[in-house]
Structure 1
Amino acid sequence: MTDNALSLFQLCDSNFPTGSFSHSFGLETYIQNDIVHNQETFSEWLKVYLHEQLAYADGLAARLIYQALEENDTEKIWELDRILTVQNLARESRDGTQRIGDRFLNISESIYEIPMLTNYRNQLRKKFAFGHPAIVFTMVGHHLQVPKETTILFYLYSTIASLVQNAVRAIPLGQTAGQKVIYTFQKELRQATDKIMHLDESEFGVVSPGLELSQMQHERVNIRIFSS
């Protein structure tokens, strides 16, 4: 792994302070309904989340944004920022993603000197953009000259690692069980990355209705430890 790739991998730490530990993105609904209750059922949920929502939303967006950065097409980036936000139908998940994106941008700006991050911040201040962690992550990966496929793989890993840590607290799982899930997901992550590299742009936003419904229903769960 190159030094630049290692620098990008720093952003994958589940303890990276973006506030993602406060969001389950619908997982807590499945836990409340006793559909997810152990390592096996969580792994099943996580596979669906990875392949049926994350790949078609954040993952495909990361690929398209990386391409737009290569072509210096900033208008395409702002367009993708808007689509990523408005197609996220669950209010809690939409708001949570924006908060994570804003925090991710703040921290990344403090670590790296990247003009595109400053440009993105200006768009947010003018209310011309919403903010999304996949966009910030991809901007950093492109600046560091980390290959597109590796950037996507690292972003998927960072999201999965964060959700595993949240599941460790919420189900609860043991820390060892959580690490086993992350280990077994290495193949899943590579498969998802390969799929993203071959998706057509017209497939952007084709996500599982069940996941979207669980994210909407989270507002009304009886007991909650997550914001979404």
Structure 2
Amino acid sequence: MRQKLFAIIGLDFTPVSHTERWIAITGAFFGILSVFLISDYFLQAHIALIMVASMGASAVLLFAVPHGGLSQPWAVFGGHVISAIAGVSCAKLVTITWLAAPLAVAVAVGAMHYLRCIHPPGGATALVAVMGGEKLHALGYLFILEPVIINVTIILLTAIAFSWFNPSRRYPVYFAIDKMEKPSEVITPYPAISHADFVYALAQIDSYIDVNEHDLMRIYQLAIKHHKSSSESVQ
């Protein structure tokens, strides 16, 4: 019963080493410190604090979940930049704040979906562009460069640097694939699964997936089902 409750609320007991945790803690500290200093240089202090908020959310993903799909470079960079564009545009085109704010987030979510760069903190960046006040609005589209692109670049470089202290958590995840231990032999009672089978399974789920073991199991089961039905139809 307790395990079922934990599963329902999403409480994960996957073991994580102390080394991994301290790399995440230290990386988040220096990542946000760098972002704050950059923001404080280009903007006044109160605006810098607002801007750091969305980067703080990115820091959690980058340093605590470096292998997640939402944490990868294109998701982080594209998510923030696209959201900044959406936010600045809505702030300029819609003068009613209570309408511009949700519209900015909605446009950002849609753009991130279509451009395949979903990054939840991007929603905060879109909101900052709308609700940051007159001094931030005065920056116009320059806000996208200073401080958004600069800050995103800084925090990405920090994430890459800190990931190399631990070979098991290389970032981006592309560099971790070769470091992962591969089984010498895969034994399965099912026939080989093709790329098309997995494409079909992903289409059936019809939702963005930041993959975990449960999602992979579901994808696998759907792929097996599709493969069996395809094989039977051929026969």
Q: TM-score, normalised to structure 1's length? A: 0.38
Query: Higher Cα Rg: structure 1 or 2?
Result: 2
Q: TM-score, normalised to structure 2's length? A: 0.38
